[in-house]
Amino acid sequence: MNDIIEKLRETPTTCVSDAMQGLNNLHPDIKPLKEEYKIVGRAFTVKTAAGDNFYVLKAIREAKPGDILVIDAKGDTYRAIAGDFVVGMAQTLGIQGIVVDGVIRDVMGIKNLNFPVFCKGTTVAASNKVGIGETNVPISCGGVTVHPNDIIIGDVDGVVVIPQTIEQDVLNKAVKKMKKDQEREESVLKSRESVIQYLDNILSK
Ligand SMILES: O=C([O-])CC(=O)C(=O)O
């Protein structure tokens, strides 16, 4: 099971998206804080009330090392679901990354941690800690349903959810697509003539 994750590390996120015909891509507003971030791992899910991060703290305590926290924060952009302190705790406990349909704060501090956070942006306002939420339940994040233990793969191109029930099939299709893309690049991009031949062929259909 975990060798699927190892193989996905070598697979472009775009090919994983293509393998599911784009159906499980999070909304593109959810972006990595740094372009070089890449995450591949299993989701530990959290559902919070907008602007409340008590359950994020609970999730950080409950998640296993290597997990990716996927937070349904209702798309709220006013209150930060985490700052550098909360993210630092997640990093120290071995969590691999955080994906949130909300915003964070202390952006420079979080960038200095070199810990992959994917979010909609930043704000100055802190979260409340009222304590409305759930951990480890099916959630909606960026317009996609995420179940606990689904695979999350994300990089600068975006974040894709692979439902656990179809992960082997998605990997097979994604690897096939990657090889097809590589072959196409090698055969088409090698010369001016091969590019023109390729275009003429497509355009004559
Ligand atoms: O404590 C919070 O809720 C957010 C914050 O400022 C931090 O993590 O540094």
90-142 confidence digits (pLDDT tens) = 999 999 999 999 999 999 999 999 999 999 999 999 999 999 999 999 999 99
- Which of these, 95, 58, 90, 52, lies nearest to 74 by C-alpha position? 52
Q: For residue 31, what is the domain's CATH number?
A: 3.50.30.40
Q: Give residue 13's pLDDT.
A: 97
177-189 confidence digits (pLDDT tens) = 999 999 999 999 9
Task: Report how many domains make up the chain.
Answer: 1
C-beta 93 within 6 A of ligand 1: no
43-85 confidence digits (pLDDT tens) = 999 999 999 999 999 999 999 999 999 999 999 999 999 999 9
Range of the domain at 34: 2-176
Mean pLDDT for the stretch of residues 154-168: 98
* 117 part of a folded domain: yes
C-beta 52 within 6 A of ligand 1: no
* 201 part of a folded domain: no
* 204 part of a folded domain: no
> Could you tell me the two tokens for 16?
């994983």
- Which of these, 60, 99, 112, 107, lies nearest to 83 by C-alpha position? 107
* 194 part of a folded domain: no
Say whether pTM exceeds 0.80.
yes
Ligand 1 atom nearest 106 alpha carbon = 9
Q: How far is the CA of 49 from the centre of ligand 1 (A)?
A: 16
Which residue(s) pair with 16 in the sheet? Answer: none
